Chains A and B, each alone.
Chain A
């Protein structure tokens, strides 16, 4: 069963078209990324799926339910983490999570609150007021609020924007853990390295889908600039980004023919920075 299915979804605000005929399906248990620049329609798409934006035309189904007409049944099964933290600043993290948990009449709420606090690593700050938290910590509280009723589908609107690389990496570990537990994650982002961590990615621009594919296949659409220097002679060429294409090109430079694919995966700057931080004695 698909967790989300959308057909011909259009949303217009007067003359401005925010979504222009979106079609997509999201299988259950996947991390699905919606990538696009600011104003691409990512937030409008998420808000339509959680039932706070009324589509102009088209249909959207989440867990086979209509976000507007079946809102009471649906809201028990979805979690939503907005772009801004959307928390009560004078209340503690625990109070914020408890308040939203009460909306869903979660059984054994105190225990569940403690569990999500532990899961999002907020134990030491759980009783502090939100206004004393950093932006990244607020995002974690916001995630905990979205998780309190153990939703089947989780909508995360730019969950790690303006979050430091360490916390971002930790957040993605949590997302992966949730997906492994069967939760479907629908994540919007404008960070391309983050999109690479999704199972499937949709590229959205000006309210239209440009491409739906796995991050690996999207990367394969790119070109690799290959420079080979032999006896002070440099040869530069642009080839397809597939490991097979690289091996084929290197055969011309003496790579044995039995090597059929070559893949080079250098660390990203973010990975290197994180490694340096990890190595620093506390």
Chain B
């Protein structure tokens, strides 16, 4: 735990010193949300803006956390700093934990910016509990993204190798997780694939929360599934993060 905090602190320090990367990871989502607003403004008045906008905001955080963590960890590997961390005495679990802590900080900031901007631009109004649960959902989703990034980085020899994981891991979430269409309208095999994608459960929570009333059991069940993803990915990532060739 102590070592994870040391690594998390270092990741945050690096991100704060790399003003370009830090700026882009905040400004990038900010601009995308504005594009979303322009798109929604062009829709007919009865278009359900919240049904698409809020999950899309969550997807942006999901996407950026995955890409950033994956690329930075591949860079650690190619620069030799990952190997050096192992030799210096950091364990695999400490390294993964450190990355989660580090990116948790960034994801919290991203979630605040993205959610705040979406609600402000689209003039959406929710109660305190709903807002808190939306925020928790996005942050939990970003932790899943960090784990996926760590996992993807173990199969990559350089940063460019992370790119093929975008169509493999990220893009299917748009079509199969209920972001654009109800998963029940999909062919059975596609629905099954969608059930494997963590974004589906984040979307389930968001759709439940933005309705006029929400069923707490549905929200907590899906939050529990996201927590399960975090645990499962933590175990898989700690096994695939190779210490010795």
Contact = CB atoms under 8 A, between A and B. Distances in A.
Interface of A: 47, 50-54, 68, 72, 75-76, 78, 80, 82-88, 90-91, 95, 99-100, 102-105, 129, 145
Nearest to B90: A103
Contact of A103 (B6, B18, B80, B244): B6
A135 to B, nearest CB: 14
**Secondary structure type dominating chain B contacts:** helix
B13 A84 contact: no
Contacts of A103: 3, 6, 85, 88-90
B84 interface: yes
Nearest to A148: B88
B243 interface: yes
A54 B6 contact: no
Interface of B: 2-3, 6, 10, 13-14, 17-18, 79-81, 83-90, 243-245
Contacts of A83: 80
17 contacts: A51-B244, A52-B86, A52-B245, A68-B244, A75-B89, A82-B80, A83-B80, A86-B80, A86-B81, A86-B84, A87-B81, A88-B14, A99-B6, A100-B84, A102-B3, A104-B88, A145-B84
A11 B89 CA distance: 24
A180 to B, nearest CB: 25
Contacts of A53: 244-245
Contacts of B243: 52
Closest CB pairs A-B (n = 5): A86-B80, A103-B88, A90-B17, A103-B89, A75-B89
Contacts, number: 69
Contacts of A75: 87-89
Contacts of A91: 10, 13-14, 17
Contact of B6 (A47, A84, A102): A102
A99 B244 contact: no
Contact of B89 (A72, A84, A129): A72
Nearest to B79: A86
A82 B89 contact: no
Given A75-B89, A76-B89, A52 B14 contact: no
A100 B86 CA distance: 10
Nearest to B16: A90
B244 A52 contact: yes
Contacts of A87: 79, 81
A253 B203 CA distance: 97
A99 B89 contact: no
B84 A88 contact: no
Contacts of A82: 80, 83-84
B207 to A, nearest CB: 40
A70 to B, nearest CB: 13
A54 B242 CA distance: 11
A103 B80 CA distance: 16
Nearest to B11: A88
